[in-house]
A and B are shown apart, each in its own frame.
Chain A
Amino acid sequence: MAVTQLAARASESPHPPASARQAPPSPASGRGVFWGRLGVTTWVVPILLLLVWEALSASGIVPQRKLPSPHSVALAFWQLTRSGELPRDVFVSTLRAAVGFAIGGGLGFAFGLAAGVSRLAENLFDGTLQMLRMVPHLALIPLIIVWFGIGESAKVFLVAVGVFFPIYYNTYHGIRTIDAGLLEMARIQGLKGFDLFWQVIFPGALPSIMVGVRYGLGIMWLTLIVAETIAGSSGIGFMTMNAREFMQTNVVLLGILLYAALGKLIDMAARRIEKGALAWHPSFAQA
């Protein structure tokens, strides 16, 4: 019954009442802006979802063992935090992510730079890299387990491989698509070598590089989850797989939410950096 009601409501939603259509929210005034500025509007839907979920669990419509209620997840969070298990796993996962990202991103940037700046370098390895880029890096897992076992280096390696390609490609592409007119102008102004790179080429490629970084951050998380889930003895992925063995669905859910929260946190940081580094860019201009 409840489900059909929800479905009915959902089918209504694409057709808002006529009054709402006639009065589109004006960007400069109205209550929507006031609440939006307080950051309230963003939270309405998630909080509503949580309430509905809690209600469905409490009433027994959704079995606890399939989908535990929000408060039992919160409880698991509290207990695991107090026992020190959770902070340790989060720390281990974050460290793996950071090291893998630094290695893969650093190499990707270096190779992208070389291929972008030098035709020789481009001819040497761009073709090969473009081919390897098409291999889903998670397909390497069996091979990596053979090479590295299931230790730290396997996970870091896999993250590094995953992060390498988007950063390589976007750095290379960013440099190659810089306005040729600007380069010509810079040479007329007497810039060359490192000055030309630092003042014109790098900032010109930065918007594209930042796209690569944000894309790479997403891949970093994804890779880490898979790697930790398949093989490991610590980390958030291990924590969730371990909990599954004991049917602790609330811990499994906690792990998933942690990945979401950490991913969101990192994306926010990347946006902040982007906004600072690309303040000149019309897309990031302060309103």
Chain B
Amino acid sequence: MASLVRAGVSFLERSVEVAPLRPALSAGLPVRLRNVAKFFGSRSVLQDIDLTIEPGQFVVIIGRSGSGKSTLLRLLAGLETPDAGDVHLGDDASPGRLRVMFQDGRLLPWRRVIDNVALGLPKAERGRAATALQAVGLADRANEWPRVLSGGQKQRVALARALAANPRLILLDEPLGALDALTRLEMQGLIEDLWRQSGFTAVLVTHDVAEAALLADRILLIEDGGIALDLRVDLPRPRRAGPAVAEIEAQILDRLLGGSRRAA
């Protein structure tokens, strides 16, 4: 009984902090890559990438720096074009189908917080900006300049901007990399909550193994321009650090660090 009450209370706390963006209804966007390759000059960054992501899946791409993981994300975003193969994002060509959240936030310093969130929204839908800002818990900062916000708050605004158009795919390019540990944990919880409410497909690039184990339905380890490990994670959410999560982390680390760790 007591645990039931506690569960109820914690649920309430959560729902107070995060106003629902809208009921889970829109299907996420499916993603399909076939034989994708990318070169920078003569250097091959990605080769023979075959990948199908189901609608609504939370996929985490992990790898060392320079492994090509960010390039893969940029290919999905359409910021790079593949040199071979093709990238197919369902049959949706609307401008609001996908959004990107960048590591450095990229807020326009000359627009107030609320206008940053509304960037690119059609006039009739500008009301969504306020809803999105409320969803990330920053409704009271709507009329501030971005420069007065903390790093974590700026990333919340960037997240709200990504959410405002109700995209079916959100690409997150190491969005929490520059945040302190505590803020990062908070943001991970927030991203997971919003993803569960909205049902978009999420692709997160990170080099943080713990983050991958906490958030992913599926972890893709990129090494030397290819997918070296494709790991499904079927743990109940929300996850907390524990033996099950630790085991996933160990599995990824083993693969990342290769023989050197096993030998030690």
Could you list which residues of chain A lie within 8 angstroms of chain B, going by C-beta atoms? 179, 181-182, 184-186, 188-191, 195, 199-200, 203-204, 206, 278-282, 285
A281, B119: Cβ atoms under 8 Å? no
Q: In the complex the two chains form, what is the Cα distance from A185 to B175 in whole Å? A: 14
The 6 A-B residue pairs with the shortest CB-CB distance in the complex, in nearest-first order: A189-B120, A190-B95, A185-B106, A203-B110, A280-B110, A190-B120
B88 CB contacts on chain A under 8 angstroms: none
Could you list which residues of chain B lie within 8 angstroms of chain A, going by C-beta atoms? 77, 79, 95-96, 98-100, 102, 104, 106, 108-111, 119-120, 145, 147, 161, 165
Min distance, Cβ B205 to any Cβ of chain A, angstroms:
15
Residue in A186, A188, A191, A280 whose CB lies within 8 Å of B109:
A280
Q: In the complex the two chains form, what is the Cα distance from A185 to B95 in whole Å? A: 13
Q: In this complex, which of A189, A199, A204, A206 has the most chain B Cβ atoms within 10 angstroms of its Cβ?
A: A189
By beta carbon, the residue of chain A nearest B97 is: A190
A185, B109: Cβ atoms under 8 Å? no
By beta carbon, the residue of chain A nearest B146 is: A280
A203, B108: Cβ atoms under 8 Å? yes
By beta carbon, the residue of chain B nearest A278 is: B110
Q: Name the prevailing secondary structure of the A interface residues.
A: helix
Q: In the complex the two chains form, what is the Cα distance from A206 to B108 in whole Å? A: 13
By beta carbon, the residue of chain B nearest A184 is: B79
Q: Given A200-B108, A203-B108, A282-B147, A186–B102 Cβ distance below 8 Å?
A: no
Residue in B99, B119, B145, B165 whose CB lies within 8 Å of A280:
B145
Q: In the complex the two chains form, what is the Cα distance from A181 to B105 in whole Å? A: 10
Min distance, Cβ B96 to any Cβ of chain A, angstroms:
7
Q: In the complex the two chains form, what is the Cα distance from A199 to B119 in whole Å? A: 9
Q: Given A182-B106, A280-B145, A282-B147, A188–B100 Cβ distance below 8 Å?
A: yes
B119, A186: Cβ atoms under 8 Å? yes
Q: Name the prevailing secondary structure of the B interface residues.
A: loop
Min distance, Cβ A165 to any Cβ of chain B, angstroms:
26
Residue in A181, A204, A206, A280 whose CB lies within 8 Å of B104:
A181
A188 CB contacts on chain B under 8 angstroms: 77, 79, 98-100
B102 CB contacts on chain A under 8 angstroms: 181, 185
Q: In the complex the two chains form, what is the Cα distance from A182 to B108 in whole Å? A: 7
Beyond A189-B119, A191-B119, A279-B145, 16 additional contacts (C-beta under 8 Å) are A179-B106, A181-B106, A188-B79, A188-B98, A188-B99, A188-B100, A189-B161, A190-B96, A190-B165, A203-B108, A203-B110, A204-B110, A280-B109, A280-B111, A281-B110, A282-B147
By beta carbon, the residue of chain B nearest A204 is: B110
Q: In the complex the two chains form, what is the Cα distance from A280 to B110 in whole Å? A: 5
Min distance, Cβ B74 to any Cβ of chain A, angstroms:
9
B108 CB contacts on chain A under 8 angstroms: 182, 186, 199-200, 203
Q: In the complex the two chains form, what is the Cα distance from A195 to B161 in whole Å? A: 17
Min distance, Cβ A89 to any Cβ of chain B, angstroms:
41
A204 CB contacts on chain B under 8 angstroms: 110
Min distance, Cβ A116 to any Cβ of chain B, angstroms:
17
B106 CB contacts on chain A under 8 angstroms: 179, 181-182, 184-185
A200 CB contacts on chain B under 8 angstroms: 108
By beta carbon, the residue of chain B nearest A187 is: B79
Q: List 9 A-B contacts (CB under 8 A).
A: A184-B106, A188-B77, A188-B79, A189-B161, A190-B120, A191-B119, A280-B109, A280-B111, A285-B147
Q: In the complex the two chains form, what is the Cα distance from A54 to B260 in whole Å? A: 87
Q: In the complex the two chains form, what is the Cα distance from A131 to B99 in whole Å? A: 44
A190 CB contacts on chain B under 8 angstroms: 95-96, 120, 165
A280, B147: Cβ atoms under 8 Å? yes
Min distance, Cβ A210 to any Cβ of chain B, angstroms:
13
Min distance, Cβ B183 to any Cβ of chain A, angstroms:
21
Q: In the complex the two chains form, what is the Cα distance from A185 to B119 in whole Å? A: 10
Min distance, Cβ A46 to any Cβ of chain B, angstroms:
36
Residue in A185, A191, A203, A279 whose CB lies within 8 Å of B100:
A185
A191 CB contacts on chain B under 8 angstroms: 119-120
